[in-house]
Chain A
Amino acid sequence: MPPTAIQPAKKSALGVKVPHTTTERLLILLSRYREASIAVVAIVLVIYFQLGSDGGFLSPQFISVVLRDTGRLGLIAAAEVMLMITGEIDLSLSAIFSIAPYVMALLSVTWGVPLAVGAVIGVLIGILVGAINGIITVRFRVPSLITTVGTLFFLQGIVVSIYNSQPIVAPVEQPFNAIFGQSLYQPTDALLSWHGVTAFTPFLWAVLLVLVLALVLNRTTFGLHTIATGSNIIGAREIGVRTDRMKIYNFMIAGGFAAFAGIINTAQFTSADPQAGSPFLTLQAIAAAVIGGTSLLGGSGTVIGALIGAFVVASLNNGLVMIGAQATVSDIYLGAAIIAAMILSIQVDRLRTRRRV
């Protein structure tokens, strides 16, 4: 089979460039290790708040608050990243975040259904909503931005009307609450006591699930086809990737993740608030994804970056208050951070393709 008459061309003849300048080296690093660059930002932020709060930021009690917020935001952000890679977006996740635990608590107080069973039902509802979002988007060619704004209002309307907007007090069941969500770390807790550890379980769940998602994205056919779908949908279809299915599956993952995030949130607060997930939560998750290095253009993204991005957002929200700023000031920083992250991400991409590094 090898055509012996044809000699391999020399590499220099085919326009291969070796990077020279420091700027180019920096660009390579930034484009290859996006997670690393956002991790640096996170560390700088922690040091800043730690110094500004006289050591209060890294106390177990305070950090358990930051990590609680990081966990629920990170789960939604990571799921959103998968969708953003396929070139779609889901704005209904906050409504799923509300409805799944609400159903769980409602089943528990009405018929005494165990929380674990209710939680499974809640997650299944999330997956089902995701499937509906996906099917409407793919089959009826409605842009996902519109589809999910529709389901957002629809679901939010349902969950609010069930009990006249009233929160339900969710029962505490062990070991369910120890596994999925416990009250926050108390000053009286010892760090290695039972409650000292279980206060962090929601965050640990988020880390675990995000790592699983990272594995799926980077090491499986599913992940490869997800990237192919968002990078070049026609090309992917021509080569036989089932792009429609890939989108629907990722909508389902997003729905399931949002439902789970809502359930651990309710387990912690022992209360199912029909308005627990305001649309603002989804927007913060998208902010975390973008800050973490995922662009909205499709074809690339990092779920680990999204989790670190969620930590940055949660640190900003809580840390600024701690060092004495107005609660609302954090939004100013958040807004600026999103735009800066997006500009940086697009510029790095452009320079990378132009210079072929």
Chain B
Amino acid sequence: MNTQAIPPLAADAPVVLEMSNISKSFGAVTALVDVSIKLRQGEVLALVGDNGAGKSTLIKILSGFHQPDTGTIVSQGKEVRFASPRDARAQGIETVYQDLALIGDLSVFHNMFLGREYHKRVLGLNLLDNRKMREQAQVYLDTLGISIPSVNSTVDLLSGGQRQCIAVARSIYSSPKILVLDEPLAALGVRESAHVLGLIQNLRQQRQVSVILIVHNYNQIFEVCDRINFLHSGEIALDASTADTSEEELIRIVKSGLGRNAIDAAAAEVRSGPV
């Protein structure tokens, strides 16, 4: 992977997504408080935070799985409301969930096309065009360099890495405008991680698709991301470009659970001595 080849994000890249003042509670549990994030065309944004910080809730709101209590989502310049995952998909927002949302009992190619099946008319009946889906899936996985025993095998027979690759491939297939990946590297070995990171790097190079990436390995963030948002206790505690921060600073901020300003202020206080 040649990181030198990645051009920096153009300064005038338009904003494609703006989630403003999003709050969400589940009964007595507050998941998000007044969270705002911004995503520009072709940008790869890392969303980091501890378990339970609200990352998954935020992206499930973006993907239409949950509905926010308050706050607005502006996509491509107009305000949108997603009542279901279908609505979000229709707006070009594809999500790969942590659980991958693959159907174990269905074949790889049926999974690839679930919810957007190809049909053919046979004697006036609208039947599945399995041959077309099989061929398209095979061709597409070959182009991405994803190797599986057969597109006919059911997903429950594949390894964790293979499943992850299928899920990512499925989300890229529809050429989305915004791609959301919730811990896409969680269950992967070194080789498979490199593969998925390669797919993301490839998207980043072309600057067509904007990506939101939830990931725990900070090393990988600096490899493939343009910007970092750190979510702590349901609030955004840091919003910085990867060029302006370092892995050490990020780890310090994540460990303290405080934003950059708070840490700087505390450091200044220590330097000036007790009042």
Taking Cβ atoms with an 8 Å cutoff, the residues of A that contact B are 1-3, 5-11, 14-16, 215, 219-221, 224-225, 227-228, 230-232, 234-242, 299-300, 352-353, 356-357
Identify the closest chain A residue to B208 (Cβ): A1
In the bound complex, what is the Cα–Cα distance between A239 and B149 (angstroms)? 24
21 contacts between A and B (CB under 8 A): A1-B143, A3-B198, A5-B2, A6-B195, A8-B147, A9-B191, A14-B149, A14-B159, A14-B162, A215-B125, A220-B126, A224-B128, A227-B105, A228-B103, A236-B114, A238-B65, A238-B101, A240-B86, A240-B115, A299-B104, A353-B157
Taking Cβ atoms with an 8 Å cutoff, the residues of B that contact A are 1-2, 63, 65, 84-86, 89, 95, 97, 99-106, 110, 114-115, 117, 119, 125-128, 130, 142-149, 156-157, 159, 161-162, 191, 195, 198-199, 201-202, 206
Identify the closest chain B residue to A233 (Cβ): B103
Residues of A within 8 A of B191 (CB): 9
Residues of B within 8 A of A242 (CB): 84
Residues of A within 8 A of B156 (CB): 353
A2 touches B114 (CB 8 A): no
A219 touches B127 (CB 8 A): yes
Task: Name the distance in Å between A86's Cβ and chain B's nearest Cβ.
Answer: 12
Residues of A within 8 A of B95 (CB): 238
Instruction: With A235-B101, A236-B103, A237-B85 as known contacts, state yes or no: A11 contacts B147, CB within 8 Å.
Output: yes
In the bound complex, what is the Cα–Cα distance between A15 and B161 (angstroms)? 11
A240 touches B84 (CB 8 A): yes
Q: Which of A6, A239, A353 contacts B145 (CB 8 A)?
A: A6
A232 touches B103 (CB 8 A): yes
Task: Name the distance in Å between A88's Cβ and chain B's nearest Cβ.
Answer: 16
Residues of A within 8 A of B65 (CB): 237-238
Q: Which of A10, A11, A231, A357 contacts B104 (CB 8 A)?
A: A231
Identify the closest chain A residue to B194 (Cβ): A6
B147 touches A15 (CB 8 A): no
B127 touches A228 (CB 8 A): no
A224 touches B126 (CB 8 A): no
In the bound complex, what is the Cα–Cα distance between A219 and B105 (angstroms)? 15
A10 touches B101 (CB 8 A): no
Residues of A within 8 A of B159 (CB): 14-15
Residues of B within 8 A of A220 (CB): 125-128
Given A2-B145, A14-B159, 19 more contacts at CB 8 Å? A2-B143, A3-B199, A6-B198, A14-B162, A219-B130, A220-B127, A220-B128, A221-B126, A225-B114, A227-B105, A227-B106, A228-B114, A230-B105, A231-B106, A237-B85, A238-B65, A299-B103, A300-B105, A353-B157
User: Top 6 A-B pairs ranked by shortest CB distance?
Assistant: A235-B101, A231-B105, A299-B105, A238-B101, A240-B86, A16-B149
Identify the closest chain A residue to B118 (Cβ): A221
Residues of B within 8 A of A7 (CB): 145
Q: Which of B99, B110, B125, B145 contacts A234 (CB 8 A)?
A: B99
In the bound complex, what is the Cα–Cα distance between A7 and B105 (angstroms)? 29
B145 touches A240 (CB 8 A): no
In the bound complex, what is the Cα–Cα distance between A220 and B119 (angstroms)? 8
Identify the closest chain B residue to A232 (Cβ): B103
B99 touches A8 (CB 8 A): no
Residues of A within 8 A of B110 (CB): 224
A241 touches B114 (CB 8 A): yes
Identify the closest chain A residue to B130 (Cβ): A219
B86 touches A1 (CB 8 A): no
B202 touches A238 (CB 8 A): no
Task: Name the distance in Å between B224's Cβ and chain A's nearest Cβ.
Answer: 13
Residues of B within 8 A of A239 (CB): 85, 101, 114-115
Identify the closest chain A residue to B5 (Cβ): A5
B145 touches A224 (CB 8 A): no
Task: Name the distance in Å between A40's Cβ and chain B's nearest Cβ.
Answer: 24
Residues of B within 8 A of A353 (CB): 156-157
B63 touches A356 (CB 8 A): no
Instruction: With A1-B143, A240-B84 as known contacts, state yes or no: A232 contacts B199, CB within 8 Å.
Output: no
A8 touches B105 (CB 8 A): no
Instruction: With A3-B145, A8-B145, A299-B105 as known contacts, state yes or no: A224 contacts B199, CB within 8 Å.
Output: no
B115 touches A11 (CB 8 A): no
B145 touches A235 (CB 8 A): no
Residues of B within 8 A of A228 (CB): 103, 106, 114
Identify the closest chain B residue to A357 (Cβ): B157
Identify the closest chain B residue to A218 (Cβ): B128
Q: Which of A1, A6, A8, A235 contacts B103 (CB 8 A)?
A: A235
Q: Which of B1, B100, B125 contacts A5 (CB 8 A)?
A: B1
Residues of A within 8 A of B202 (CB): 1, 3
In the bound complex, what is the Cα–Cα distance between A85 and B63 (angstroms)? 27
